[in-house]
Chain A
C-alpha cells in the first residue's frame, strides 16, 4: 500500500462517510449509570453453563480449533 493509494481510498471513503464532527456528549450519563448499577446481575443459568462446558470439551477434543477461534474473536 503506497501513500497515493491510501490517499485515494481515504478520499473515496471520506466522501461517502465524513468524519464525525460532533463527537461531544450532550447529556450527563450519570443517571443512566446509576440505573445500570442498580440492575440485578444476570444469573449464570444452566444453558450458559452447558454452552461453556461444550466449548471447553470441543477445545480439549480439537485443540486446533483454539487458534481458529482466537483469530475470529
Chain B
C-alpha cells in the first residue's frame, strides 16, 4: 500500500487540521499524521538508512509531536518543525547503533597494497571498509554528511531539517570529509 495520503486532502483542509491539531483535537492529529507520515519517514530513512528503524522512529516522532502539540505555532510550517524533532530522534538512534560498530581496519596494521585494488573482491572489501568508517563518524557529523554527500540534499534544506545554521551544516560536512579523507589515506586511497 502506498501510504502517501498527502494528496488526498486540500491545502485548506491541511491548514485547518493544523489549526485544530494545535488546539489539541485528536481527529486533527490523525489528519496531520496521515498528511505528513510519508515526508517524515522519507527524511528519517535517508538519515538512518534502515526502513524498519525509520518506521519506528516515524511513529516515535509523531508521539513526541503529539506530546508537544501545545508548543506548535499553527502560523509556522509544520514540516520543518516535525523534521527537526525527527532529526533529533534519528541522531539518537545513530548514536545508540554506534556502540555496536565494527572496528575500522584503518585502525589496525592491515594495509591493502595498491595494485590489489583492481581485484573485485578487494574493491568490495574497500567499499565495506569505507561504509564502516562512515558509520563510525560522530552521529551529528554522520547525519549531515549522509544528507549532503550521499543524498545530495541542498545545504539550506539540511540546515532547516537539523535545526542548525547553514554555516553549522558546512562545518559538520567539512569535519566529516576531513575524517573520511584520513581514513581513506590509511587505506591507500588518495585523490
Number of residues in B with C-beta < 8 Å to the partner? Answer: 42
- One of B60-68, B79-87, B98-106, B108-116 contacting the partner: B60-68
Given A10-B149, A27-B55, A32-B55, A17-B131 contact (CB < 8 Å): yes
B184 at interface, CB cutoff 8 A: yes
Query: When the two chains form their complex, are residues B127 and A15 in contact, meaning their CB atoms are under 8 A apart?
Result: yes
Query: When the two chains form their complex, are residues B2 and A26 in contact, meaning their CB atoms are under 8 A apart?
Result: yes
User: Looking at the complex, which one of A6, A15, A26 makes contact with B177 (CB distance below 8 Å)?
Assistant: A6
Chain B interface SS verdict (over half): helix
For A12-34 the 0/1 string (1 means CB < 8 A from B) is 11111111100111111110110
User: Looking at the complex, which one of A17, A27, A28, A32 makes contact with B150 (CB distance below 8 Å)?
Assistant: A17
CB distance from A44 to the nearest CB of B (A): 14
A66 at interface, CB cutoff 8 A: no
Query: When the two chains form their complex, are residues B30 and A27 in contact, meaning their CB atoms are under 8 A apart?
Result: no
- Chain B neighbourhood of A5, CB < 8 A: 177, 181, 191
B186 at interface, CB cutoff 8 A: no
- Chain A neighbourhood of B49, CB < 8 A: 17, 20
Q: Most chain-B CB neighbours within 10 Å: which of A19, A23, A24, A36? A: A23
Query: When the two chains form their complex, are residues A9 and B181 in contact, meaning their CB atoms are under 8 A apart?
Result: yes
Query: When the two chains form their complex, are residues A33 and B38 in contact, meaning their CB atoms are under 8 A apart?
Result: no
Given A27-B55, A29-B58, A16-B131 contact (CB < 8 Å): yes
CB distance from A22 to the nearest CB of B (A): 8
